[in-house]
Structure 1
Amino acid sequence: MSTSNISGNKREFLEYILTFWSSITWIYGSYILVRSVIYYKGIDVTVGFICFLSMSVGVFLSSLVKDSRILNAIPFLQASLQFLLCYNNMFEKPFYLMILSATTGAFAPHYLAPLLLETSIENRGRRTAIVVFLSILTILFGYFMTATYGARVFLLACFRLITYPFVKKTSEILEGRPKEREIEYRSRESVLYLSSILIFFFVDILVFQVYLMKYPATLSDLLFWFKYIPASMVIPLIGYVIDTLGRKGAILLTMLGLAFSNIMLTIFPTSIETLITYTLLDGVVWGSLTLIYYFVIWGDLLDGKKFLERYSYVLSILYVTEGASYYIATYLATLPPHQLYLFSSLLIIISIILLWFAQETLPYEIRERRRLYRYIKEARRLKN
């Protein structure tokens, strides 16, 4: 391969990283910000549910927009809105928090979908993992460097304006190249995988609400870091695993780990050590499933002609489910902890059963070819 081709590939890969790193950092930064305000600032349960519903409506409405000029204006308008909401912590008021939620959802489908269109089924896990890993590290760094939610909103708005030139490229990807998918749309697998993640969402939020209500705020803040740091660290490894061994096996292993930690909570419901262990495992599961369910699986399952439309439906369902889970979990959290943890363990087992009947989305030929490559590499190493 010539030197010019190598340098061209490096430039293309760097542009890919910058483009989607900025988009995902903005989306997940806004999403985690809204989530944190709802959970930590004592927002009314009904208001919290409406905020998640607003996010879902924003996703659905933005999927109907086809004009690239409007799409390119969305990031600038959102950044301007966030600058305004920084004043006197206005974003903590219900009406403005709903607006922030809706704009976060409106941004999501048009700037997440191109990430999947720019990857092939053979490298989707690894390439997506790099971008998601860098994005979560950036978000955690921003949270660590700021002490108030107002400062985080301001920092996020500044980040959006600085990286605006890269984000514009995502609309060009959607307009220019509707790729055919390697695997055509499969409704049965889509329903099974989606049902599994919806159950996980409910369990995750239920347990999260329990320790927010039953433990001091200082411990809850510490558990926030115990969850998201492992989540970021495990993503590159999971990206490699799901491209090598398959998506389904990785999901089943992470779900089994979460089920085990829930059983430990059932046996030792008041142990701080058990709670911390659960949070660490939950972070690993959350990071793994964020990568797989928000990006990789839907890149495998959805076809090119209606990709944006179907991906928008998936995101809308995920946000609505999170809002409903938050609303229901707030009332279930009043039950004795050991009953809740046992209930959540049973739900995870149901999720695992659903996954068991789903087909692997990474084709057998790719997995077999990589297995043979590993054998050949090992044979050469032993020979030398």
Structure 2
Amino acid sequence: MFAVGVAILFSGAALAYGYDESTSTIPASTEENCGRCHNPFGYAIFHGPTAIGVHGGYTTTTYKCKGCHTVHRAPAGGQLLLQGATIQASCESCHDGTGGRGVYGTIVARGLQVAGDHSVEATTVVPGGDAESGGSATMSFAGTGGTLTCTDCHSPHGSTVVAAFQGDRYRIANSTTRLPLVKNRLLKQRPGNTATATAEYGSDWCLACHQGRSSALSTVHNHPADSKATTATPFVYNRVARLDVSGAWTGTTVANQTLGFSNQGYLMPYPRTPQQAGHAPICQQCHEDARSVGSLSTIGNTALVTPFLVTMPDGVETSSNPRFQNFPHETSNYRMLVEATVSSFNDDLCLNCHPTSQLP
């Protein structure tokens, strides 16, 4: 399967080894090597908000369809003439570190342990999926045997997706511009084919499946999370109130800022700032890639943010903070929490917003 994907997507290239920069043979990012799938080729394919590669932009002169589909050589028992025997196998002909990066495999490749992930084609159970009890629920997904798979969250043809947002990642490992990636990540507006569409990535997108984690349920008491169930104008990933500086003590926040490409949105001074008033944190202010975010002062009215630093993606640089930018695929922390250990979390996470001097 993998060899077929490489032969089509990287014509003439030898085998490439995922997340092994010393042996990778992925060719240079040139129009000759990449232009047939990433068309039109140029700056926008790496940094533009509409850069979608093979996942959209089909015209009479593009060559994108055969990057994923094969008319006469599809595996027996496969789906939709995909080259892989399963949806996951088809996606991972590129998104395993050999072509597309930043999904699964980066943490193990650096010798660390995966502590939390969205398991692909392995389960039908959604933790916190039951809106009545808050417990787990069984859902029917698009993967083998009804399991969760890539296309339950992502739209492979770029249709009906959320608005673009700025995340923590660079577009490609060999980028020299070091610009943040502002894209929709091909995230579906209806993850898991749920009934209600979500136009922006935030708590409501997570709650489409994790319905029992809503803070508006009458039978379950959850930690507050900003969503359409709690306010008419909830914060989303690309629109939160975050601290105005990093690396210096501050108690001031700025409105309408992205959570991505910064660590300034993970601490909430107490009392809450005017921009934070009336809003709870969104899911991703507790659940995101593992990192050090800093701390509040003793009385909690100011915060010192640990600077955001990503010099290379995929955990290449151990000094990066966050080191990996793979959420919500896999993380190195327990339950995908921002601050935790591999097997548990402690009060460090809670103290990011709840200073001890303000506890009743």
TM-score, normalised via structure 1 length: 0.26
Greater share of strand: 2
TM-score, normalised via structure 2 length: 0.28
